[in-house]
Structure 1
Amino acid sequence: MTDLQLGSLIAAGGIVAAVYAFNWWQEYRYRKRTQQAFARNQPDVLMEAPRNMVRSGERFEPALDADDDAPARLELPADEAPIRAEPRAEVRSESRAAPAPQPVFARDEDDDGDALSESLLDPGIDFVAEVHARDHIPPRAVPPFAAPKRVQAIGLTTEGHWEAVSSASSAEYTELRVGLQLADRQGPLSAEQLNAFCMAVQQFADEHEAIATFPQRSGKLSAARELDEFCASVDVLIGLNLVGEGRPFPMEKVRQLAEQSGLVRTNEGWAYRSDSGKTLFTLANQEQKPLGNTSEALTLLFDVPRVAGGLAVFDYLSDFAQQLAGSLGANLVDDNGRALTAASLDNIRRQLGQLYARMDDRGIAPGSVAALRLFA
């Protein structure tokens, strides 16, 4: 072997060694950053997030003008009355207001169990990562994947059935699907949040010598923004106000009238609920003031996207509001003190129907599991 050949071999070996060392260093730095970002003592942002946050949706008022200090409202033609938005709601099987009952899932059949488990993730509203394991992964080894939005993991058991990952399960998994919700009332998923989630899933897969696969990130981020924009456009709550004519309402009489109409007592006031226990609309002091022996004004609130059978519920709400106003000698008004007539309520109902139609067209049925997740 000539000196030239020997030198070439040494140079080639040096290049290979340098490339190997560089790759090792890059992997070391990646793991170091991941460990720092997802250390066990990191706070759970989702658990610490404030409750009942409303995205930039409107509290749709039956009002034509908006005060500078009032919540934002939709601008409507002068002959139309808008709607208003805040905390949320769903109907009991009364004669008028009878929404579709909430499904009761049973796992008597394996197929039913698989369908229920797989329904926990929705590619339309979740970024779903897949982890294909070389060895079986026990449930206790699956971390919570702390994130600022809902995370749900399901696992394919060694017996070939999907189940929600739970530390109480005795199964082991050959495959995992981990979903991160694209949007909620705090806004759309950000690139930073998504990258952090992917790094956590990749680290978990590396630790278990598994293969992790992810959807195309830029496309999912665009979908998150578009989904959030749509949700904001229908994220509204109808509010109707009852104001006394110079004298406060006796709350004992309000209680009797509310209970006679099927409402139940809550910490804030009263709620009308479905047979499954979901709130359809509420009755409370205006401005959410604490209840006392009397009240100067009351407010009925009805969440739009979270209510199944919403038009029937609104019909019942409208009748109850008018009956309550008549019994208490109150005026039924918007936030600007303008009277709400039968024509005003009809206009609100028509707008409500349009919002529900848009949700149906989008495939997010009002009161459905998807709607309850997106508007939580």
Structure 2
Amino acid sequence: MNLQLALILLGVATFAGIVVFSLWRSRYEGRSLLERSLGWIQVVLERIPVERLVSRLRPRNLTRRVRQKEPSLVASAQFDLSGDAQNDQTPAESADTSDPGVGGIERGASTQSLQSEIGAQPLRIDYWARLPGTSPVSRDTALGVFREHEIDLQRPRAVHGRTEPGNVWLDLATASADEVFSDLIVSLQMADRDGSVTESELTRFNNLAYYMSESLNRSLKFDMTIEEALPQAVRLERFCQEFDLLAVIHIEPPPGSGFSGPDVVRAVDRAGMRLGKDDMFHLYDPRTGASRFSLAKRSESGSFSYDELESGMLRGLVLFLNVPTVPRPSQTFSDLISVATYVCTQIGGSLVDPQKGALSDVQFDDIARQIRSLESSMKRYGIEPGSEEAIRLF
């Protein structure tokens, strides 16, 4: 055996000895190794701000961050077509959902709080009373009595009747004058985005129902008591305040300039929008004729004048969508983005939110996600976006 081979064998033997010794030590001194590991883990944990993390994960704070709304989603009560009201508000202030919302109720309330205020059951929109009869009553007779005493009411109200023959329920205000009705129902809407009905108004409505019962010689049955109706009205008001949102996008001209009226008309016309209600442009649903979203001038009224469109200059444009009142609002918002992008490109502007923050695909995706969430939440409460019920409430 030469010296080189001997040294190699000695190295291998030394390495094997070290391995064996390490295994033996880990076997018989494992307890101290475990203790050292636990001590190291404890030191690491002490350096982690556990209390701060727990505080951030509390339901209220977690929900607040999840439910923060993009600046382009604006409550109707805070909607300003002039674009001036938001200038003094920083994005951080807008994102702080702990600020009171409409009616002083916090928009940053937790999901648990929202469910406790609205509840999980479908909402009831109307407080009503039924007046069945043994003989039919004419449309003019019933409507005359109703209109004589409805003047004491502020909330939307109606009287419906079941035709005889036919058994079809019709609104007496729009029914043909020669219709006669077997049963009648008088109703009062309990809330909308402007507030809820009061006990005093419910009492006045009851008086109307009693008077109709006596005048028309009919029995009377209320759907619920006033005591039962008041909490339902509060639930409905809270729902309206939570979901009363508009998606708003501004088209801003380059600094120190404006948009030519004729250029705006040309671009908007090519995008399929037409001048209509309130002297604003609208994209109409070809099936229903209803406006899906609108384009206004950036001014207090938002209305366009013919002089401006023919030869004037405009300091900015505002596209807006009333989210709960259109069918499939997420798809409608996608169409709004397409129109906004096209018009913006044609007239040389830029897309910004109401706080003048630049908008990109990332922000558009965030807005669309929140609109989809709002859409599904409304359905859970039994109100379909764009339905007759939604239009009544918003």
Deviations 1:290-317 (A, max 9, x none): 5311101111111100010211111111
1:141, CA displacement in angstroms? 1.6
Amino acid at match of 1:262: G
**What is aligned with 2:189?**
181
State whether structure 2 residue 302 is matched by structure 1 residue 283. no
**What is aligned with 1:270?**
281
1:60/1:238 contact within 8 Å kept:
no
Structure 2: how far apart are the matches of 1:239 and 1:217? 39
Q: Please report the TM-score for the alignment, with normalisation by the length of structure 1.
A: 0.67
Structure 1 residues 74 and 193, CA, compared in 2 at 3 Å: closer, same or farther?
Answer: farther
Say which structure is richer in helix.
Answer: 2
**What is aligned with 1:228?**
237
**What is aligned with 1:256?**
266
1:158, CA displacement in angstroms? 4.0
Structure 1: how far apart are the matches of 2:364 and 2:296? 20
Q: Map 1:42-191 onto structure 2 (within 5 A).
A: 59=79, 67=88, 75=96, 124-142=124-142, 143-144=146-147, 145-146=150-151, 147-159=153-165, 161-164=167-170, 165-166=172-173, 168-191=176-199
Structure 2: how far apart are the matches of 1:296 and 1:176? 54
1:134/1:174 contact within 8 Å kept:
yes
**What is aligned with 1:327?**
346
Q: How many residues align?
A: 277
**What is aligned with 1:7?**
none
Q: Map 1:303-318 onto structure 2 (within 5 A).
A: 303-318=322-337
Structure 1: gaps of 5 or more residues: 1-53, 78-84, 86-121
1:305 aligns to what SS in structure 2? helix
Structure 2: how far apart are the matches of 1:322 and 1:349? 15
2:136/2:181 contact within 8 Å kept:
yes
Select which of 189, 206, 212 maps to 2:220.
212
Structure 1 residues 370 and 362, CA, compared in 2 at 3 Å: closer, same or farther?
Answer: same
Q: Please report the TM-score for the alignment, with normalisation by the length of structure 2.
A: 0.64
**What is aligned with 2:320?**
301
Structure 2: how far apart are the matches of 1:123 and 1:290? 36
Amino acid at match of 2:279: E
2:127 aligns to what SS in structure 1? strand
2:129 aligns to what SS in structure 1? strand
1:129, CA displacement in angstroms? 0.4
Structure 1 residues 198 and 303, CA, compared in 2 at 3 Å: closer, same or farther?
Answer: same
1:221 aligns to what SS in structure 2? helix
Select which of 334, 346, 357 maps to 2:365.
346
Structure 2: how far apart are the matches of 1:171 and 1:289? 43
Return structure 1 stretches of 4+ with deviation > 4 angstroms: 54-62
Structure 2: how far apart are the matches of 1:173 and 1:76? 51
1:154, CA displacement in angstroms? 1.7
Amino acid at match of 1:148: Q
State whether structure 2 residue 246 is matched by structure 1 residue 237. yes
**What is aligned with 2:112?**
none
1:131, CA displacement in angstroms? 1.1
Q: Which has the higher contact order (CA 8 A, sep 6+)?
A: 1
Percentage of pairs with the same residue: 23
Structure 1: how far apart are the matches of 2:228 and 2:95? 30
2:251/2:349 contact within 8 Å kept:
yes
What do you get for the CA RMSD once the two structures are aligned? 3.1
Structure 2: how far apart are the matches of 1:132 and 1:126? 18
Structure 1 residues 261 and 194, CA, compared in 2 at 3 Å: closer, same or farther?
Answer: same
Amino acid at match of 1:247: S
1:151/1:181 contact within 8 Å kept:
yes
1:272/1:282 contact within 8 Å kept:
yes
